[in-house]
Chains A and B, each alone.
Chain A
Amino acid sequence: MDVELREIRDFLSSHPPYNVLPDQLLDQLPARMHLRYFRRGTTIVELNKPNNSLFILRSGAVDVYREGRDLVERADPGTSFGTSSVLSHTPSKYRIVAIEDSLVLVMPGDVFQYLLNKVSEFADYFNTANSTVMKRAVAQLENDTSGRIILKTRVSDLLKREPITASENITIRQAAKLMTEHKVSALLIAEGTKIRGIVTDRDLRSKVVAADLSREEPITAIMTRNPVTIPRNALAFEAMLEMLGRGVHHLPVVDDDKLIGLVSSGDLMRLETANPVFLVGDITKQSSPEGLAKVSSRLPMLVAQLIDQDASASEIHRLVTAVSDATIHRLLQLAEAEQGAPPVPYEWLVLGSQGRYEHGLGSDQDHVLLLDDAATAEDDPYFATLAEYVTAGMEACGYPRCTGGVMATNPRWRQTAKAWHGDFQHWMGEPDSAAVLHAQIFFDFRSVHGGSARADALRDTIRKLAPKSPRFLGHLAAQAVERQPPIGFFRGFVVERGGRPQATFDLKSAVHCVVELVRVISLANSVSAVNTVERLRSVSAAGAMTADSESSLLDAFELITYLRLRHQARQVSAGIPPDNLVSPDDLSSLEKKHLRDAFGIIKRAQAGFAYRYQTHLMS
């Protein structure tokens, strides 16, 4: 007798995770199941009652309430529910109600358990606590392909041997001999593991041979003192940017100031060269804002290309940020060339997403000027002109002006280091919630021009004061919690808390859920990093977050930021200005499921961490 229930088999095979089941299991599955019908308004699973079945919505719609109150999911046909009580063998923590007349497939708990044991890919789907699920989602989005090694490789991976070093008291002749012996094009001059200088083939040619200098002179006569170094965990492409930007071919590699090796441009050339690097190279060569605008117009297509090449969101953000940093840097050089040298030293600070190395397409400008304390009111016209030059130049390059006026063109945000210290102390010491909301992005500052001594000092002040400012942290935490991720998706709509469906959802808002949360935890724990991923690693290393939370938040953040970049890249390819509003129709059902998991991870983290700081304030 034929027992094939083809309609039900086909239904199951078209919905995850049943689509991963092997045919043989899928063929047998329908005959292990039951069908029940629930009239609209009736309860399918009671709160706090045992439940030993997995339900799969066949038709209709159901709402899932946590503890019977909080709507956590509005389920479309194909959605599985009742899983947690089956898996944990505990009474249901959810009340599940049919909101339309619903036909439901019922899988007995033992059959479900059998499938979980038999097919690990199937089990992964239900295991949201396990971050390997999200990792796999991210990996699926970023299928490994070649052609982007430079974006994947760390500087430390390029180090093949111990650095060839010599002390400061050797002669030029001895240095040349050492370099020949070891067949290297550069020699590091160091005391112990502390780098003092570097000598290259080029120095020997230009400073010794061409200048007819005696070989018996000390090496200190020709070496470059205190050369630019690169940290061991920097990406290879960052090393290349550094070389291009400074016109050098060697970079000593350090691990916390400790010299551990050397990378050369040759090392990098041997990696496959990705185009982004040349874009930055081209930016540094431009001699006018018009030229910069022309070169910058290549950026959106480049991001689209990188998405195609399956670069990760964090890599692409770093690249886009490197391009915007280079553009500002170049504009400032051009402005100084036009206006003459600045009357006092200054540092140009970028804030917000650019400060965090998370600049995306269409991100606006956020920047301020940090002036030397010697600056007076008479110096301001110079910096006003400088700021307008850079801001207009950036605008022409496709970075819109900040609508909130947080730009160096605003006189309020052109001030001395002393005044900045005062502002930050005020924000942390006497916070009112509106001021703190406004000031949040200032805490993500980073200097891109003029050195970073003053910015570093400012950061030290913040690191000292922030952990001792419970009211300030409380306000930040309250804001971080207020920003709620959506619940999920239903019939092509986004279900927001409160149940009102939206046609699109704001990926930027979802990104900021993570950014704001991680910022407050970092500030509370004296973390100096500004990049969200680095902040997460630091708070976890400091013991302020479990490794599990860290890794699931990292994955959630990567997923959301990746989908945002992909959305923007698609818009750019279609000739539409990039925005942050994505429609559920643009996402696959698996992406929707993973996003829903990511929202869940964020919500749990919000509940766990932000509340901790908020209670200081409210009590």
Chain B
Amino acid sequence: MWFSSQSWRQVTQEIPDGPIRRYVVDPKPDPATPLTEAKMLAVDLETTGLDPKTDQILSIGFVPLDGLDINLAGAGRMLVRPTGGVGDSARIHGLTDDALADARAPEAALDLLFTALQGRVLLAHHAAIETGFLGMTCNAIHGFRPRFTVVDTLSLQFRLLSQGFDDEPPQGSLRLWNARSQYGLPRYAAHDALTDALACGELYLAQVAELQAKSLRQLTLKAVLKY
């Protein structure tokens, strides 16, 4: 692990120039930024399984948010070429080995994602999957894991549902599609990385509206960041 043997400064000096290096060396978003101005990138990954150590990324979808406005012009989805076969998860995502033949190498896919992530907070539902897989993939290629600034809509949902109750939220209520239905957000038929990233971005807007309604002062990034 990089932090045990090298200083952060040394690590950054060794990263080749490119989108990942820029993401790492640029200043992190200021937690005092009002949410109406905070820039985010809603990200969703589709993977061969849940364990970053053994599973691989199949596709990456992302949608940028400028403050509380989802800018669909920046939306994208790319397939990532896995090493080895797709296996069982093809049944879930409809991605077959054939489709994946057009996919990008993990290195190129990461470059594209980090270009989109420049200057933005990573927004995801159950973000541990995204940060885990992205960190592991980056580590495999470049030998280090970037530190992400993250907002997690699952954590926000947990907070919103737990407020004023001693109990934990009911089981299943935190899942992306259940959380969305609590805000009357539309159901989506498709299940792919881009649709899920969009779904996460929309959920975030609804959650912020709810949090803001309960708060007397204007919310800043600090109120939603995951530490």
CB of A181 within 8 Å of the partner chain: no
CB of B92 within 8 Å of the partner chain: no
CB of A37 within 8 Å of the partner chain: yes
Provide the bound-state CA to CA distance between A33 and B212, in Å: 25
CB of B170 within 8 Å of the partner chain: no
CB of A618 within 8 Å of the partner chain: no
Provide the bound-state CA to CA distance between A527 and B79, in Å: 74
A7 & B195 in contact (Cβ 8 Å cutoff): yes
Chain B, Cβ-Cβ closest to A105: B72
Chain B stretch 169-227: residues in CB contact (< 8 A) with chain A: 183-186, 188-190, 194-195, 198, 201-202, 205-206, 208-210, 212-213
- The 8 Å CB contact of B76, one of A1, A58, A77, A106, is A1
CB of A492 within 8 Å of the partner chain: no
Residues of A within 8 Å of B79, CB to CB, are: 2
CB of B96 within 8 Å of the partner chain: no
A34 & B72 in contact (Cβ 8 Å cutoff): yes
Q: How far is the CB of B144 from chain A (nearest CB, A)?
A: 26
B198 & A1 in contact (Cβ 8 Å cutoff): no
Residues of A within 8 Å of B57, CB to CB, are: none
B205 & A35 in contact (Cβ 8 Å cutoff): yes
Given contacts A1-B77, A3-B76, contact A37 B206 (CB under 8 A): yes
How many residues on the A side are at the interface (Cβ–Cβ under 8 A)?
A: 28
A2 & B194 in contact (Cβ 8 Å cutoff): yes
- The 8 Å CB contact of A1, one of B68, B69, B112, is B112
Q: How far is the CB of A25 from chain B (nearest CB, A)?
A: 15
Given contacts A35-B201, A37-B205, contact A6 B190 (CB under 8 A): yes
Residues of A within 8 Å of B71, CB to CB, are: 34
Q: How far is the CB of A108 from chain B (nearest CB, A)?
A: 10
Given contacts A2-B76, A35-B69, A35-B201, contact A7 B209 (CB under 8 A): no
Given contacts A1-B77, A1-B78, A37-B206, contact A8 B72 (CB under 8 A): yes
B183 & A35 in contact (Cβ 8 Å cutoff): no
Indicate with 1 or 0, residue by residue over B101-132, a CB within 8 angstroms of chain A CB atoms: 00000000000100000000000000000000
Chain B, Cβ-Cβ closest to A10: B189
- The 8 Å CB contact of B70, one of A11, A36, A59, A101, is A36
Chain B, Cβ-Cβ closest to A98: B209
Q: How far is the CB of A136 from chain B (nearest CB, A)?
A: 31
Residues of A within 8 Å of B70, CB to CB, are: 34-36
Q: How far is the CB of B100 from chain A (nearest CB, A)?
A: 13
Indicate with 1 or 0, residue by residue over B72-109, a CB within 8 angstroms of chain A CB atoms: 11011111000000000000000000000000000000
Chain A stretch 48-78: residues in CB contact (< 8 A) with chain B: 58-60, 77
Provide the bound-state CA to CA distance between A77 and B112, in Å: 34
Chain B, Cβ-Cβ closest to A106: B69
CB of A139 within 8 Å of the partner chain: no
Q: How far is the CB of B161 from chain A (nearest CB, A)?
A: 16
B78 & A39 in contact (Cβ 8 Å cutoff): no
B68 & A58 in contact (Cβ 8 Å cutoff): no
Provide the bound-state CA to CA distance between A30 and B210, in Å: 26
Provide the bound-state CA to CA distance between A5 and B77, in Å: 10
Provide the bound-state CA to CA distance between A60 and B205, in Å: 14
Given contacts A6-B190, A101-B184, A103-B186, contact A36 B205 (CB under 8 A): yes
CB of A160 within 8 Å of the partner chain: no
A6 & B186 in contact (Cβ 8 Å cutoff): no
Residues of B within 8 Å of A60, CB to CB, are: 184
A37 & B68 in contact (Cβ 8 Å cutoff): yes
A7 & B184 in contact (Cβ 8 Å cutoff): no
Indicate with 1 or 0, residue by residue over A1-19, a CB within 8 angstroms of chain B CB atoms: 1111111100100000000
Residues of B within 8 Å of A8, CB to CB, are: 72, 198
15 A–B contact pairs at CB < 8 A? A2-B76, A2-B78, A4-B77, A4-B194, A5-B194, A6-B195, A34-B70, A35-B198, A37-B205, A38-B209, A39-B213, A58-B186, A59-B185, A60-B184, A101-B209
B interface residues with partner A (beta carbon < 8 Å): 68-73, 75-79, 112, 183-186, 188-190, 194-195, 198, 201-202, 205-206, 208-210, 212-213
14 extra interchain contacts, Cβ-Cβ under 8 A, other than A5-B72, A30-B72, A34-B69?
Answer: A1-B78, A7-B186, A35-B72, A35-B202, A36-B68, A36-B205, A37-B205, A38-B209, A39-B213, A59-B184, A59-B186, A77-B186, A103-B186, A103-B205
